[in-house]
Amino acid sequence: MGETNMEGPVAILRSWSVHTVAAVVFVYVLLKVFTRVRHKSGRRPPGPPSLPLIGHLYHLTQGLPHHTLAKMAEKYGSIMWLDVGALSVVVVSSPDMAREILKTQDHIFASRPSGLTIEYLFGQGQDLLFCPLNDHLRRVRKVFSSQLLSQQRIDSFKDLRRDMLFKTMAKAFEEGHANRYINFSDVMHELFITTTTAMVFRRGAGAHIQDFTEILMEMSNSEWFSIGDIFPLLKPLDLDGQVKRLKMAGEKSSKLMDSIIDNRLKEKTKSMSYEEEDFLDVLLTTSGFTRDQVKFLIMDIVPAGGDTTSGTVVWGMTELLRHPNIMERLQSELDDVIGKERMVEEADLRNLEYLQAVVKETLRLHPPAMLGVPHSSTEATKVAGYDIPANTWVIVNIHAISTDPKVWENPLKFDPSRFLNSRIDVRGQHYEILPFSSGRRLCPGMNLALVSVAYTLAQLVHACSISLPEGLTPLDVDVEETFGLTVGKRNPLNLLLTRRLPSDVYHKAGLNGIGQSRIPVDT
Ligand code: HEM
């Protein structure tokens, strides 16, 4: 997902007219009264001093929010209270607090806040990502785990993942052969968006990929919250133009999805085998989903699965290039287990212990969703002795937890060996590291993501010689971040990829020479 403009609301505040200011003062007075009533009952968690009207919004616009909030937690504690306009937000930053939210009181905190993005793009949460805690959520999650993202289904896309990666590698070799560097972040982004889209529409997506990608870009430029969410009484004024933008994106995506669904329904799909079914087939044949719900669910999958996975591969490669000794150790493991006479297959992954440690360490230091996805409380409750009202937003600072010096030795050091012979895993059972979160909202794409990241990194490190642009050393590879719905690498990672294995190995694997890989799907 793209970079979110966290300064948006602040820029808008600067450009308000006299009428707007009058409206704001009115709202402020109302809010003051409202806040007093709201705060009267109960003991709130500690938090920094807040500014009139905007509350703590100011703090969230300073620097990268996951770092800012982690710093604030050092001062105010592992459970903090923030007022962002009319929104009440609790931020938790320790394994114990995460366990309380995601396990002990998961039945209360597993809902989602509402907001304009959710209202206009996802039919008030009829998708999965933004669905509140209700029967629809339980039903959708069941379909995702038992059918859409079951292990059997993930395996059925094995050849697709391999062919897409081979196609990408063939193109990169062609560039490498001509001594041209590739922008690795862009190449991985394209690989995972196209692979995920191809899983959704295995057949007939080609003509729509461009339109689909444009809509996704518009969606990923949306903010979690807009002026209308922060100050609900200003919603009708649409000061940041968010409602207009979201309405347009919603209509565009609905039209596109209608034409794709109409075409699909015209096809005869009855004789199809399990291996040929794509996500769209599964959703259309699962009884009980309305056409709109199918559309919203499809619009969840590509953004949720594409940028997170590609971002993890980019961060993994970045860290390997910064640490040549770790890269060498991984290469030796691959050469020992696979040899140099064939390419990596997904079945090999379980035998690659150091590779798995590299993936875990990458997800510890660079979880793509550093602040997860906001949860919301369905009823008033107590956490650590503090009173948390119903409808409070809850943010789990995944980054703060997995770099907490009380939990991790040398927390900022990239050191995969900390996971060798360790019982700690990234699958939501250990609250010290929660890249996929935990509990009722645990990422349903976790198994797919883990196999995709491990396979891609293994294949690239084993089958490619990877060089930095001339004159650059490992010390020049930076880890500067952007903040958005996912946290990406700010500066491009330019790389030269050439072949590392004997030529006939690529030929035997179907990676037919330079730039001539077979193209398996109609994308
Ligand atoms: C490295 C890759 C990935 C990471 C780190 C990741 C992480 C996350 C996180 C932190 C959440 C929020 C959980 C919560 O609210 O507590 C989430 C939700 C979700 N993810 Fe992933 N994800 C990844 C890949 C994927 C993939 C490949 C898919 C699907 C193809 C996917 C689909 C979803 C969906 C649909 C949700 C919403 C679940 C719900 O609200 O109940 N994710 N993911």
Residue nearest to atom 11 of ligand 1 (CA): 443
291-322 helix and 446-463 helix, angle to the nearest 10 degrees: 40
Query: Which atom of ligand 1 sits closest to the CA of residue 438?
Result: 16
CA of 293 to the centre of ligand 1 (A): 18
Residue stretches of the annotated binding site? 443
Closest CA to 453 of 113, 66, 53, 161: 161
Q: Are 370 and 324 in contact (CB under 8 A)?
A: no
When computed from its CA atoms, the radius of gyration of the chain, rounded to whole angstroms, is 24
> Where do the H-state alpha helices sit in 366-466?
398-402, 446-463
Residue nearest to atom 40 of ligand 1 (CA): 129
Neighbours of 164 (CB within 10 A): 25
Ligand 1: list residues with CB < 6 Å. Answer: 128-129, 141, 196, 300-301, 304-305, 308-309, 312, 367-369, 372-373, 435-437, 441, 443-445, 448-449, 453
By three-state DSSP, how is residue 474 classified? helix
- Residues 6+ away with beta carbon under 8 Å from 203: 267, 276, 278, 521, 522
The CA distance from 449 to 333, in Å, is: 22
Closest CA to 196 of 309, 118, 272: 309
Query: Which atom of ligand 1 sits closest to the CA of residue 439?
Result: 16
The predicted pLDDT at position 44 comes to 93
Query: Which atom of ligand 1 sits closest to the CA of residue 306?
Result: 27
- CA 467 from chain centre, in angstroms, equals 28
The CA distance from 194 to 181, in Å, is: 21
> Where do the H-state alpha helices sit in 105-223?
106-109, 116-121, 135-143, 151-156, 158-177, 184-200, 209-220
The CA distance from 285 to 303, in Å, is: 23
Residue 31 to residues 61, 83, 136, Cα–Cα distance (Å): 21, 11, 33
Q: Are 444 and 145 in contact (CB under 8 A)?
A: yes
The predicted pLDDT at position 1 comes to 37
Residue nearest to atom 43 of ligand 1 (CA): 443
- φ/ψ of residue 481, rounded to 5: -110, 155
Q: What are the pLDDT tens digits along the chain (523 aa)?
A: 333 333 344 444 444 444 454 455 455 555 554 554 455 568 999 998 877 767 777 777 778 889 999 999 999 999 999 998 888 999 999 999 999 999 999 999 999 998 777 777 777 788 999 999 999 999 999 999 988 899 999 999 999 999 999 999 999 999 999 999 999 999 999 899 888 888 888 765 666 667 777 776 666 555 556 677 777 777 777 777 777 877 887 888 888 888 888 888 887 656 666 667 888 888 988 878 999 999 989 888 877 888 899 999 999 999 999 999 999 999 999 999 999 999 999 999 999 999 999 999 999 999 999 999 999 999 999 999 999 999 999 999 999 999 999 999 999 999 999 999 899 999 999 999 999 999 999 999 999 999 999 999 999 999 999 999 999 999 999 999 887 778 888 999 999 999 999 999 998 888 865 444 343 333 3
The predicted pLDDT at position 198 comes to 85
Ligand 1 pocket test target in 196, 443, 447 with most atoms within 8 Å of CB: 443
Classify domain 42-509 at the CATH topology level: Cytochrome p450 (1.10.630)
The CA distance from 284 to 453, in Å, is: 29
Identify the bridge partners of residue 495 per DSSP, sorted by sequence position: 182
The predicted pLDDT at position 223 comes to 59
User: Tokens at residue 235, please?
Assistant: 């919603």
CA of 175 to the centre of ligand 1 (A): 33
The CA distance from 233 to 310, in Å, is: 39
CA of 129 to the centre of ligand 1 (A): 8
CA of 351 to the centre of ligand 1 (A): 26
412, with CB counted inside 10 A (0-12, 13-18, 19+), is: exposed
Q: Are 373 and 308 in contact (CB under 8 A)?
A: no
DSSP-derived secondary structure letter, 146? I
State the complex-level ipTM: 0.99
By three-state DSSP, how is residue 388 classified? strand
CA atoms within 13 A on the CB side of 288: 7
Q: What is the largest CA-CA distance in the chain?
A: 75
CA of 55 to the centre of ligand 1 (A): 30
The predicted pLDDT at position 166 comes to 95
Which contiguous run of DSSP H or E holds residue 183? strand 182-183
Residue stretches of the annotated binding site for heme? 443
Residue nearest to atom 3 of ligand 1 (CA): 308
The CA distance from 265 to 372, in Å, is: 36
The predicted pLDDT at position 217 comes to 64
Domain ranges for the chain: 42-509
